[in-house]
Structures are given as C-alpha cells and as structure tokens.
Amino acid sequence: MAGLLQALVGVSEKAAQVARLCRREEPLFQLLVAEKTGPDRNRRFLQDFKTLADVLIQEVIKHDLGKEFPELRGHIHGEESNEFRNAQGETVTVRVCATPGDTAALLLSVLGPERAAAELLAAAVHRDAAPGDVELPDAALSVPPRDLAIWIDPIDSTNEYIGGREDVAPVDGIAPGGLRSALVLIGAYDRHTGCPVLGVINEPFFRRDPLTRRWQGRYHWGVAYGDTRLCSLSPPPPPRPTPRLVLSRAEGGPVRAALGPLCGDGDGDGDGHGLRFAAGAGYKLLCVILGLADAYVLSEGSTFAWDACGPHAILRALGGGVVALAGALRARRAGDTGPPPELVYNRPAEGAAGAERWANRGGLVAYAHPQHLEAVLAALATVPGL
C-alpha cells in the first residue's frame, strides 16, 4: 500500500510537470491557447489540444501504474477515451510507446505539423517522475491493489488552466479563480464497496519561485482504509461557530439564499461574509481539506467520479466526508436520522450514457465536521425542488 501511495504521488508529479510544461514551452502554449487567439487552418484539432494532453497523461498513468501493479491493469479510469480523432478525421489510439521517438511519431499523427510540440510532450512522458518521497508509518496497510481501482482527473478546472490568470487575489486564503484552481486529482477506491481509500491532490501552480519565476507545485495525500486514517496534512481546525461555505459561481439563487443566513450572510450575496465562491470542483474540495472552508455545497450533478474520488479519500482520512446531496435530503425528509450515505465510485448512474454515467447526480456536500453537514442539510431541506 505504501508502494501504491508513493506511485500515485509519483504519477501526480508527472502529470503536474506536463501541466506546467504546456504553459511554459512556447510550441505547446500556443496550441493550448490557440482557441482564444482566432481562427486557424487546423481548427478541429486545436480545439482539442487540452483533451490530447489529458488523454496522454491518463495513458502515462495507466502505463506507469500498470507496469508496477499489474493487478490494477484494466481498473484505471479517467474522463477521456484514448481514441482520438485528428484533423483528417482518422482515429488515432493515443498511448505511451516503447521509446520517446515512437510516442512522438504517434502524437505527430494527431498534431499534424507541430513536430516541436509532439517531441516536447513525448520527452515529458518518458522522463522518470521524481519518486514520491512519501514516508508512511509502519501501520499495517494491507489493502491489496487487486481490490482497488483508480479515478484520474489529469487537470481539473480546465477553463482556469487555459485562461491562466496568475493575479487572482485570494479571499481569506481561497482563490476565486485562476491557475491556482487547476489541480491533478487521483483517487483509489475499493472495487467492491466503491469507497474511496487513497487520494492524492497535486497543485501544479502552487507558487512561483521568486528567483527563477518558475511555477512550483505541492501535493497532499490521505489514506482511509478500515480503521486506518493517515494524511500528509494536520486535521482541520475546530469547527468555526459560523461555518464558512464555498460554492460554485454557477450555484443558483435559492441555494445561496438558504445557505447565506447559516454563515452570517443575510441575503446570500457572498459580500465578504461566510459564502465564498471558487472555480474548480477539486479546488473547492481542497479548500475544505485545508480548513479554508468548512463545507463545499453543490446542488447540481456537474461533478464526476474523477473530480471527487481522490479529494474524498483525503477528507475521510481527516474525519470528514462527501455525501450525495439529493440522497441525503431524501433520507432526511423520510425521517431517517442516521448519517447520510457517502458518495461511492463504482456504480454508474442508471440509464445514463457517456460521461454522465459517472456524474455525481443530485449534487454533493463535502464537509470537515459532521455538525456542519447537519447544519447545511437542515438549511437546504427548506429549498423547494432540491
């Protein structure tokens, strides 16, 4: 298990390096932002460069983890399929080849004339990632990889990653948007129960080195398996008497209005009181993990298994969790007083197709302290339609 955690940290570092590379190296950066800079002859592909980088990172993670832990092969999932269509309409299966040259040639069949970009990406995926320096206490961590499966989000908060704003001032430590909210999310869950057991969040754009001006990252991990709870972070501070909640900017008026009073914001307009707004599902979960917010509330099914699995494992390691909002409200209204069901990661939504199969339908509440979960549910139980 310690080996697997180290490996997950290692692959998250590789993904973070690719994320930084795509913004640092001109040939890649041009492709990344091309959509914003006007029409181009190769439009069909350019619109999908970020997807190609994501697919490639996913394949690297599958390749590297599958090599070290053969039991995980076929159980490593992400948002994207590795079937990629190039500008000529041909289907190319993106994968890591035996040599950097072969991988570059494969990427070139998607990237058309962009040889420099293909070579930079191929070199990055074949470079050895810095091994995770995670040291675990000798706790008997006996969960065998054959019982686990993995969800990966190579870069969450795509829009902020592409937009690349560096100067977004944090409010009480929470960045409302910008590069800080672009994160690598990796989670391992129990194949049989669907419970998240191991999570890594990597922040590729944590801070700029004052001397080199290069971006530096950092990462966090957590383990919640059986009775074992281990985390790279200290437990969150004691619950604030008035909770601080973080929401998506897309969250609607009725939910804001119901939650505002709970956190000292009478009209729910987020004007410096307890409601905070931030981009990125993973980033909002990280805010709860870091104790910057007490809960993240989302009333829509706009997050997916790959957004929540890794952060959820870390939250569990710290004594918190993530519940399905609609299910929790339903149980509450039916008089059920037990703890509401946590999200699980092995059950596709019935009747859904494509990415929707893995949507966290009906929204979620991520919390650090159970009393804040209770307060949020009590406030939301009054909102019609939820």
Q: Is 156 in the site for Ca ion (CB under 5 A)?
A: yes
Q: Which of 30, 82, 109, 158 binds ligand 2IP (CB under 6 A)?
A: 158
> From residue 23, how far is each of 111, 115, 166, 186, 381 by CA, in Å?
17, 17, 12, 21, 44
Give the nearest distance from C-beta 129 to Ca ion in angstroms.
21
225 or 277: whose CB is closer to Ca ion? 277
Q: Which of 153, 203, 265, 342 binds ligand 2IP (CB under 6 A)?
A: 153
Number of residues that bind ligand 2IP (CB under 6 A): 15
Q: Is 378 in the site for ligand 2IP (CB under 6 A)?
A: no
Number of Cβ within a 10 Å radius of residue 156: 27
Site string for Ca ion, 59-98 (x = CB under 5 A): ----------------------------------------
Dist CA 144 CA 8 (whole Å): 15
Dist CA 327 CA 88 (whole Å): 46
Q: What is the DSSP letter of 364?
A: E
94 or 106: whose CB is closer to ligand 2IP? 94
Q: Is 153 in the site for Ca ion (CB under 5 A)?
A: yes
Q: Which residues are catalytic?
A: 54, 79, 153, 155-156, 158, 307
Q: Of 264-323, which residues contact ligand 2IP (CB under 6 A)?
A: 279-282, 302-304, 307
162 or 379: whose CB is closer to ligand 2IP? 162
Q: What is the DSSP letter of 190?
A: E
Give the nearest distance from C-beta 66 to ligand 2IP in angstroms.
23
Dist CA 341 CA 69 (whole Å): 31
303, interface contact from Ca ion, ligand 2IP, none, CB < 5-8 Å by kind: ligand 2IP
Give the nearest distance from C-beta 18 to Ca ion in angstroms.
16
Contact by Cβ (8 Å): 306, 77: yes
In the structure encoding, which two tokens stand for residue 210, read together? Answer: 């004052």
Dist CA 72 CA 239 (whole Å): 38
Contact by Cβ (8 Å): 134, 184: no
Dist CA 153 CA 180 (whole Å): 16
Dist CA 375 CA 385 (whole Å): 19
In the structure encoding, which two tokens stand for residue 78, read together? Answer: 């992400």
In the structure encoding, which two tokens stand for residue 187, read together? Answer: 């989670």
110 or 183: whose CB is closer to Ca ion? 183
What is the DSSP pairing of strand 228-231 with strand 215-225?
A: antiparallel
Give the nearest distance from C-beta 358 to ligand 2IP in angstroms.
11
Dist CA 106 CA 110 (whole Å): 7
Q: Is 201 in the site for ligand 2IP (CB under 6 A)?
A: no
Closest CA to 22 of 53, 43, 46: 53
Number of residues that bind Ca ion (CB under 5 A): 3
Q: Which of 12, 17, 58, 157 binds ligand 2IP (CB under 6 A)?
A: 157
Give the nearest distance from C-beta 154 to Ca ion in angstroms.
9
Give the nearest distance from C-beta 318 to ligand 2IP in angstroms.
21
Q: Of 61-100, which residues contact ligand 2IP (CB under 6 A)?
A: none
78, interface contact from ligand 2IP, Ca ion, none, CB < 5-8 Å by kind: none
Within 8 A by CB and 6+ apart from 335, the residues are none
Give the nearest distance from C-beta 216 to ligand 2IP in angstroms.
22
248, interface contact from ligand 2IP, Ca ion, none, CB < 5-8 Å by kind: ligand 2IP
340, interface contact from Ca ion, ligand 2IP, none, CB < 5-8 Å by kind: none
Q: Which of 59, 156, 190, 265 binds ligand 2IP (CB under 6 A)?
A: 156
In the structure encoding, which two tokens stand for residue 25, read together? Answer: 């190296």
User: Which of these segments, 7-15, 35-43, 96-104, 304-312, binds Ca ion (CB under 5 A)?
Assistant: 304-312
59 or 153: whose CB is closer to Ca ion? 153
Question: Could you write out the DSSP letters of every residue in 365-376?
Answer: EEESSHHHHHHH
Torsion region of 354: left, alpha or beta (phi above 0 gives left; psi -120 to 50 gives alpha): left
What is the DSSP pairing of strand 148-156 with strand 295-298?
A: unpaired
Which residues in this chain contact Ca ion in the complex, by CB under 5 A? 153, 156, 307
Which residues of this protein are in contact with ligand 2IP, per CB under 6 A? 153, 156-158, 248-250, 279-282, 302-304, 307
